[in-house]
Homo-oligomer: A and B are copies of this chain.
């Protein structure tokens, strides 16, 4: 297990089709690897537009098998640069059965694990319940040559349960490919609150569990496909990494940007000795957590 990991978070605007997005990612991975990056985190559904702005059965054509063309491509990229890649794909599992799936490619090019997004949102502009069957692989971290990775996806980031279960299963860091942005009809103060909430809740997971969090978000404006006006989503970027006390390591802005960060995995040991939250969990009193509501 590495004690320190140099990671690259590749935050970008949608470049168009799969070919152009993967080509852009390949360039960025090469550049990051040249700077010593060992771990690459991509944004959610990086191969194309965020297609969930409308419910359109034709969009299922974007889905692909795993393993498949994208994992072949990303595996070759991982091997070429000897990096671990955490990617995010639209998985076609069977006719009528699709998932929002993160995959991990090892340095030798192999597909070493996948995580199917467990918490699926559905609100105006993010019609994900139409496209994605909720994950059935649980909250299982993925072992890699760089450590045990707690890979989660987007909406999961609002759930302390997801972060905790990953930590209890030994995850050494949490990684979120994500795609979140603003409805520009919201006023500036509301947009600011949303972004701040998004940053804060994820830093809270780092703190509560004493492990680093890396979150890679999409950026740029994507118009709603069926809009007659200028409606759409402005993805807010702001990809970031924080340490096990939630302390900032780095934060991106609102442009395409590859963030290169050093993650000190040994710090978790020190922080958890000082703040041994796992020691004092009242597991005798948590039996209602798997209930919907206590009424």
Q: How far is the CB of A115 from chain B (nearest CB, A)?
A: 12
Report whether A288 and B165 are in contact in the complex, using a CB–CB cutoff of 8 Å.
Answer: yes
CB distance A280 to B169 under 8 Å? no
Interface residues of A in 250-295 (CB under 8 A from B): 274-278, 280-295
Question: Are the C-beta atoms of A201 and B197 separated by less than 8 Å?
Answer: no
A201–B275 alpha-carbon span in the complex (Å):
13
Q: How far is the CA of A75 from the CA of B255 in the complex (A)?
A: 57
Q: Is the C-beta of A223 less than 8 angstroms from some C-beta in chain B?
A: no
User: Which residue in chain B gives the minimum CB-CB distance to A286?
Assistant: B290
A119 at the interface (CB under 8 A from B): yes
A71 at the interface (CB under 8 A from B): no
- Summarize A's interface: helix, strand, loop or mixed: loop
Determine how many copies of this chain the complex contains: 2
**Chain B residue contacts of A201, Cβ below 8 A:** 204, 207-208, 246
Q: Is A120 on the interface with B (CB-CB < 8 A)?
A: yes
Contact among B118, B119, B170, B207 with A200 in the assembled complex (CB-CB below 8 Å): B207
Asked if A205 CB lies within 8 Å of chain B CBs, one says: yes
CB under 8 Å from chain B, chain A span 148-207? 155, 158-165, 168-170, 193-194, 196-197, 200-201, 203-205, 207
> Which residues on B sit within 8 Å (CB–CB) of A205?
204
Binary per-residue interface labels of chain A (235-251) against chain B in the complex, 1 for a CB within 8 Å, 0 otherwise: 00000000001110000
Bound CA span A160–B161, Å: 8
Nearest-Cβ distance from residue A181 to partner chain B, whole angstroms: 14
Closest to A129 in B: B280
Contact pick for A291, options B168, B194, B203, B246, CB 8 Å: B168
The residues of B that contact A168 with a CB separation of less than 8 Å are: 288-289, 291-294
A283 / chain B contacts, CB cutoff of 8 Å: 290-292
Interface flag for A121 (CB, 8 Å): yes
Contact A245 B204 (CB under 8 A): no
Does A134 make an interface contact (CB < 8 A)? yes
The reply to whether B285 and A197 contact each other, CB–CB distance below 8 Å, is no
- In the A-B complex, list the 8 residue pairs whose CB atoms are closest, starting with the nearest: A204-B204, A160-B160, A286-B290, A169-B294, A201-B207, A289-B289, A197-B245, A168-B294
A/B interface sample: 16 pairs, CB < 8 A: A118-B285, A119-B282, A121-B280, A139-B285, A160-B161, A160-B204, A161-B164, A161-B281, A165-B294, A168-B288, A168-B289, A168-B293, A194-B245, A196-B247, A200-B200, A201-B204
**Chain A contacts to B: CB under 8 angstroms:** 118-121, 123, 134, 138-139, 155, 158-165, 168-170, 193-194, 196-197, 200-201, 203-205, 207-208, 245-247, 274-278, 280-295
